[in-house]
A and B are shown apart, each in its own frame.
Chain A
């Protein structure tokens, strides 16, 4: 039973990363119509920025949680301004190829300097240790990751679905020309949206650094599963990507307990099943 709860927790942790990453992908896809294959590399950059901040600047985890998403977000906005914006109106394939190329270059550069092995990033003192919940032992840092990710996901959902800024975003997703003709600077909003999506990926990277170590290929391994999550949840739905992210993390964790051989493939099996039954994904709208 202990092992089941432990796997459930691992599932929730992975689910947190899936949710943060697929949420960013959904926001970016909705607004820019780009399948952001660079997402995994930007997640990795988030972890590395936290690592540099700590080891070079002596800036701790809590500041990194704030600064890394901003720094990587700015890097993302530069990518959008200099490259992605020229793809407006072209087929998805161009955006996919461009961002895939960016991912390879970024990962290549980091691998060149840091190799493939992981570098440790210590859990901040305030979150060290664990709690005995009676039925299981809960490492505090892991509990923090799940709860904090959930809060960030819900806050992002609220921003997009319930605020005026979110209304601009949703409207511009449907008809950017008209929103611009109302006096909204849509190109700037697109840049900021890309920055937001990238920032969420970097935030996930910082959260994961103490758990998974900091490695140049940490994002490349994760992003394939995240894309399966996005396909299952349906591109473009905010709540859909959050729920699917957490749910698939848990399902994966459960599979590790009940049938470990399938734990690496269960997400893809589910993806195939969902695509057969509902090609737009569980919560997706038809394109």
Chain B
């Protein structure tokens, strides 16, 4: 399994059709070549986690899928449509939503405006009541300035605002970074519930203990390539390798 994932036929599970297919994706930041041919798939309804050390290219992979890296080559297929040359606003309108690592809460907008900012791109988004049910803290702070929230609340806001747009493929970049364990747990519950609601989630995490509570499958990114992949069931068997990959 691990071997096949390194090359052109990544690991697959049986849950639903192929939603995202990334082939030979390369990306550059200015002159520096960051991704050197990324290959992986995400099936509809799955939670897939990209693991890897700092600087391995995980965030760049998400940003390349979202279309916000200037120079990228290869192929990214979403719902069988190639989006490698599509601009990010059009990619968003196809149903992909991105929650950046730095959260991207706007300081000149209050919490309500932040929450309602991303336009609805298709029907089927979560209604506001359900979002407040997931994140009750936000409801009490609707009139606060966005950046006056605590780190945990900002993270919840950053996730909450992409749930009402109708996008069904969510990319979450290190949603647990720098947060207290109790908040990490809450985010874990949220991801599990979103999966039940039918969202497909591509997660970037350094914290694989957290990832192991929510993910169906893992890919390991190193030096801009996918070097391994396995399912959650195979996690225990791959633990030693994983420790080596991640240096933990």
In the bound complex, do residue B118 and residue A174 qualify as a contact, i.e. CB atoms below 8 Å apart? no
In the bound complex, do residue A178 and residue B104 qualify as a contact, i.e. CB atoms below 8 Å apart? yes
Of the candidates A164, A167, A174, A182, the one whose C-beta lies within 8 Å of that of B165 is A182
Interface size in chain A (residues, C-beta < 8 A): 18
Cα–Cα distance between A177 and B91 once the two chains are bound (Å): 13
In the bound complex, do residue A173 and residue B108 qualify as a contact, i.e. CB atoms below 8 Å apart? yes
Of the candidates B68, B97, B106, B108, the one whose C-beta lies within 8 Å of that of A180 is B68
Contacts of B107 in A (CB 8 A): 174
Contacts of A181 in B (CB 8 A): 66-68, 88-89, 91-92, 98
Cβ of B151 within 8 Å of any chain A Cβ, yes or no, is: no
Please name 11 further chain A to chain B contacts, defined as beta carbons within 8 Å, in addition to the given A167-B109, A180-B68, A181-B88, sorted by A numbering.
A167-B117, A171-B113, A174-B106, A174-B108, A178-B104, A181-B92, A182-B97, A182-B119, A183-B93, A183-B119, A184-B119
Most chain B CB inside 10 Å of its own CB: which residue of A174, A178, A181, A186: A181
From DSSP, what is the main secondary structure of chain A's interface residues?
A: helix
Residues on B close to A: CB < 8 A?
Answer: 66-68, 87-93, 97-98, 100, 104, 106-109, 113, 116-119, 121, 162, 165
Cα–Cα distance between A180 and B87 once the two chains are bound (Å): 9
Cα–Cα distance between A185 and B86 once the two chains are bound (Å): 13
Contacts of B116 in A (CB 8 A): 164, 167
Contacts of B88 in A (CB 8 A): 177, 180-181
Interface residues of A in 138-195 (CB under 8 A from B): 164, 167-168, 170-171, 173-175, 177-186
**Which 8 residue pairs are nearest across A and B when measured between Cβ atoms?**
A183-B92, A182-B118, A170-B108, A181-B88, A167-B113, A178-B104, A171-B106, A183-B93
Residues on A close to B: CB < 8 A?
Answer: 164, 167-168, 170-171, 173-175, 177-186
Instruction: Give the Cβ gap from B126 to chain A, nearest Cβ, in Å.
Output: 16
In the bound complex, do residue A175 and residue B106 qualify as a contact, i.e. CB atoms below 8 Å apart? yes
Contacts of A177 in B (CB 8 A): 68, 88
Instruction: Give the Cβ gap from A286 to chain B, nearest Cβ, in Å.
Output: 12
Cα–Cα distance between A183 and B93 once the two chains are bound (Å): 5
Cα–Cα distance between A167 and B112 once the two chains are bound (Å): 10
Cα–Cα distance between A184 and B97 once the two chains are bound (Å): 12
In the bound complex, do residue A175 and residue B117 qualify as a contact, i.e. CB atoms below 8 Å apart? no
Minimal Cβ-Cβ distance residue in B for A181: B88
Contacts of B119 in A (CB 8 A): 182-184
In the bound complex, do residue B89 and residue A170 qualify as a contact, i.e. CB atoms below 8 Å apart? no
Contacts of A170 in B (CB 8 A): 106, 108-109
Instruction: Give the Cβ gap from A272 to chain B, nearest Cβ, in Å.
Output: 29
